[in-house]
Structure 1
C-alpha cells in the first residue's frame, strides 16, 4: 500500500512539473530553450544620414511595444561610416557634432547597460536629430530624469573614445563589409536595402515557438528593391564635412566640455 502511494505521489509530481513548464512565461521559453536572434544596427548619429535616425525613431521602437524584443539580442553600434587614420584619429563622415553624438551614445550604452534605459536615451537623442533639432539633445537628460554627469565623465575621460575604437573594430570585422548605413544584420547576415523589413527576418530566424508579434509579420520575404528605386541609405563616400577625434596620446588632445 505504501509503495502504491509513493508511486502515485511520484506520478503526480511529474504531472505538476510538466504543467509548470507548460505554463512558464514566454520569456522563459524563448530565452532558455532557444537562443535569441541577434539583431545588430550599425549606424551614425547625425541627420546627414537621415535614414539612420528614421530607422531608430520610426522602426526599431516597434519591437519594444509589440514584445518582439523578448526573442532579440539587440546590438547598437554607433560608428557607421567613420574611419581611423594610421595615427589613431577617428574621422567622422559629416559635421563635428556627429563624432560627439556617436561617442555620447557609445557612453550611454556603457553607463546604462539596461537595454530599456540606454535605448530610451539614444532614441530621445535621435528623435531630436530626426527633427533637425540635434542641438537640443541634452534636454533628454531632464526629459528622462537621467543623470548627466556619468556621460560627461565617460566622454571627457577618454573612455568614450576607447569605446568608439571598439565599435570601429567591430564594424571593420563585418563579413561581408558594410557598404552603407544603416547596416542591419540578423544573426550576422546583412539585410542590405531591405532593413526596414527586419521584423520578418527576425521571426523567420527564430527557431522556437513564434511569439504573438510574429503572427502579424509576413513569413515570406517579399520586399525587393526595384532597380529604379532610390536606396534609403548613406554610402561611405558621401562625405560633406569631416571632423576628427584625436588619440589621447597625441599632443593635440583636448577634452570637449558639455
Structure 2
C-alpha cells in the first residue's frame, strides 16, 4: 500500500473513531493535529485538542505501560501492531505509553567488540529490526513511521518513504549510519538483553507485557481488545474515548523454536 494512501487511511480511521469529520483542507497526520492552534483549527479538531490538553494536564495517575516484543517481518506481529496497537495508541495516548522492542526470536552472537544477529525470517528481518530500532533512537515520530512500514507490502522498501512522510527533517543517511554502525549494533544488543531478560521467557511473538507483566490472560485480553484492556486498567479519570469498546481478535504468533 502506498504511503500517501496509508496517511489518508490513518487520518480517516482516527477521525471516525473519535467521532468527528475531518475537513478536506487537513493534510497532516493525526500526531500533528494538535501541534498548534492554526493546525487544530485547519483540521477541525480544536475542541478535541483543547479537551485532550485539559485531560492530560489533570492526569495524576500513571499511564498504562504496554510493551510489544516483536520482529519486523513476523506476520502476527505486523497484524497486532497495525490493527490493534497503533489505533489504540492514537485514541488513548494520554493514558498509555508504548514501548517497542524489535528483536523477537532472533539470536545474538559476540563477534569481537560487536554482535552478529540471526533472525527468524532472515537477513531482511534483521535489517527491518535495526531500522526500526534506530528510528526510535533518532525521532519522536518513530511509532507512526514504523506503523507505516509494517502496513506496507514491503517493510524494508517502504522505510525511507514512510520516514519522509512522517519525519521529513530526519536525515536518511544518518539513520543508515546508525543501522550499519556501532550505534545500531549496541542498540540492538540492548533489545536482545531486554528480550532475553523477560520473565517468564517469551515463547512466541508478539509477546505483550502490560505494566511490566506478562500472563497468558493479559496476552489474550490484549489480543482480543487492547483498547478495552487499557481503559479498564487505567486508574484515573477515563477519557471520553473509553465510553465505547471495540472487540476484534488478533492472535497469530511466530513461535520461538
Equivalent of residue 153 in structure 1, options 177, 180, 192:
177
C-alpha separation in 2, matches of 1:154 and 1:133: 18
SS at match of 1:39: strand
Q: What is the alpha-carbon root mean square deviation over aligned residues? A: 2.4
Residues 86 and 108 of structure 1: is their aligned pair in 2 closer, same or farther, counting only changes over 3 Å? closer
TM-score, normalised to structure 2, is 0.69
Unaligned runs of at least 5 residues, structure 1? 1-23, 238-258
Partner of 2:125: 98
Partner of 1:143: 165
Partner of 2:210: 186
* Higher-Rg member (1/2): 1
Partner of 1:108: 135
Q: Show the 5 A alignment for 1:1-258.
A: 25-30=54-59, 33-46=60-73, 49-66=74-91, 68-85=92-109, 87=111, 88-112=115-139, 114=140, 117-128=141-152, 131-132=153-154, 134-144=156-166, 145=168, 146-190=170-214, 191-196=218-223, 197-217=225-245, 232-237=252-257
Residues 181 and 148 of structure 1: is their aligned pair in 2 closer, same or farther, counting only changes over 3 Å? same
C-alpha separation in 2, matches of 1:43 and 1:104: 14
Residues 207 and 125 of structure 1: is their aligned pair in 2 closer, same or farther, counting only changes over 3 Å? same
Bigger relative contact order (CA 8 A; separation at least 6): 1
Q: Which runs of 4+ in 1 moved over 4 A?
A: none
Q: Is the 8 A contact 1:141 1:147 kept in 2?
A: no
SS at match of 2:85: coil
Q: Deviations over 1:174-202 (max 9, x none)?
A: 11111111111111222334432222221
TM-score, normalised to structure 1, is 0.69
C-alpha separation in 2, matches of 1:133 and 1:40: 21
